[in-house]
Structure 1
Amino acid sequence: MNEELEMLLMEAEASMQKGMDHLEVEMNRIRAGKATPTILDGVSIEYYGAPTPISQVANISILDVRTISIQPWEKNMLAVIERGIMAANIGITPQNDGVQIRLFLPPLTEERRKELFKKASSEGEQAKVTIRNARRDTMDDIKKMQKDGLSEDVAKDIEKKVQDLTDRYIANVEKRLAVKEKEMMTV
């Protein structure tokens, strides 16, 4: 029975960690006025008939705080990459100079910063929902085990561990949101 409880706790933590991992990916996609290659993570292009991430057909580098350089490994891919960026609608117009594509990130307005923070907050709330759902599912499993003969004291102990785990992950989400807010609000 003890091994079963440990597995239950490990499954709950794994589910909560998935929520945190997803939050991290989404936070990296939200640009905060600084150039990062992760802005292009969701952009794929048609490469010999298959959708391919830009990072697999070009060298992506950061020239300065507001400029991303994309240098394709094949020169004929310039126009394809440019169209892919335009189609992805990431809010940046590519500049093609015949050798490489440059993305110039405009400085964010106060209104746009607030809009991006709302999006980040929404992603944070989604992560919290995922964490709470993992807690609920685990608590339901504990109640089922209690009906099947698990003692009330052991059940209360494991429920407390699950709640502590939930609290820790919710606090991590809050910390990540605070870091992103600070990053977005600095001009």
Structure 2
Amino acid sequence: MSNTDLKELKRRMEGAVSAFKSDIASLRTGRASANVLDPVMVEAYGSRMPLNQVANITVPEPRMLAVSVWDRSMVKAVETAIRESSLGLNPIIEGQNMRIPLPELNEERRKSLVKVAHDYAEKAKVAVRHVRRDGMDGLKKAEKDGDMSQDDSRSNSEKVQKMTDETISEIDRLLQDKEKEIMQV
């Protein structure tokens, strides 16, 4: 396995970490952020698309989001998508605009957000393990085809495993930080 192959595996693992970072950024802590609505997908024009592709999202106050839907015919779909998301939000409709008050986070809600963060972390770890498996399969194939010696294969396997362990511990560290942020009152 060449260095370019190892770099490709590293790039894919970093992609999983970056997806995880954007997932947990959407989890709400004490104050409003437009990222809160990132996971919301709207049924629009015959397909599912992210909310930010059919509306403008702003934060007029610390505990309030404002959503301005571009197409009047999409208001109902946007409202439904927000209500049915796991975020527990209830939009107030005013024409093509919506105000979304963010409720105080109670202990139960904080715990459920931590659970969602753990789910996101597990999803990211699974993605990293898939990349690892692809790398290991590539090494076994190269060794079997005679493109690589057994020693090189073992050495590269250790590199892939080390990369995997470092990436997973980074995910754990990010999760721990987010958990503290969520549980902080």
TM-score above 0.5, yes or no: yes
- Distance apart, 1:95 and its partner CA: 1.7
Asked if 1:153 is matched to 2:151, the reply is yes
Structure 1 unpaired stretches of 5+: none
**SS of structure 1 residue aligned to 2:2:** helix
Q: Quick check: 1:32 aligned with 2:29?
A: yes
Shift, 1:78, TM fit: 5.0
State the partner residue of 1:108. Answer: 105
Counterpart Cα distance in 2 of 1:78 and 1:147: 58
Larger radius of gyration: 1
Which residue is 1:43 aligned to?
Answer: 41
Residues 99-131 of structure 1, C-alpha deviations (whole Å, 9 max, x = no match): 732111111111221121122112212212221
Cα pair distance change 1:148/1:62, threshold 3 Å? same
SS in 1 for 2:59: strand
Instruction: Give the superposition deviation at 1:93.
Output: 0.9
Q: CA RMSD in A?
A: 2.7
Shift of 1:91: 1.2
Find the aligned partners of 1:126 and 1:88 in 2 and give their Cα distance: 18
How many aligned residue pairs are there? Answer: 183
CA contact (8 A) 1:33 1:106 kept: no
Question: What secondary structure does 1:31 align onto?
Answer: coil
For residues 143 and 113 of structure 2, what CA distance do their matches in structure 1 show?
45
In structure 2, the CA distance between the partners of 1:122 and 1:72, relative to structure 1 (3 Å rule), is: closer
Could you tell me whether the CA contact under 8 Å between 2:41 and 2:48 is conserved in 1?
Answer: no
What are the superposed Cα offsets for residues 130-150 of structure 1, whole Å, 9 maximum, x if unpaired? 212322331232122223332
Alignment of 1:65-144 (within 5 A): 65-73=62-70, 78=75, 81-88=78-85, 90-98=87-95, 100-144=97-141
Residues of 1 paired with 2:79 and 2:115: CA distance?
29
Q: Tell me the residue number matched to 2:56.
A: 59
Q: CA deviation at 1:40?
A: 2.1
Q: Share of identical aligned residues, percent?
A: 36
Question: Is the CA contact (8 Å cut-off) linking 1:30 and 1:116 kept in structure 2?
Answer: yes
- Kept after mapping to 1: 8 A contact 2:93/2:99: yes
CA contact (8 A) 1:113 1:185 kept: yes
Residues 41, 50 of structure 2: 8 Å contact kept:
yes
**Matched residue type, 2:91:** P
What's the secondary structure of 1:93's corresponding residue? coil
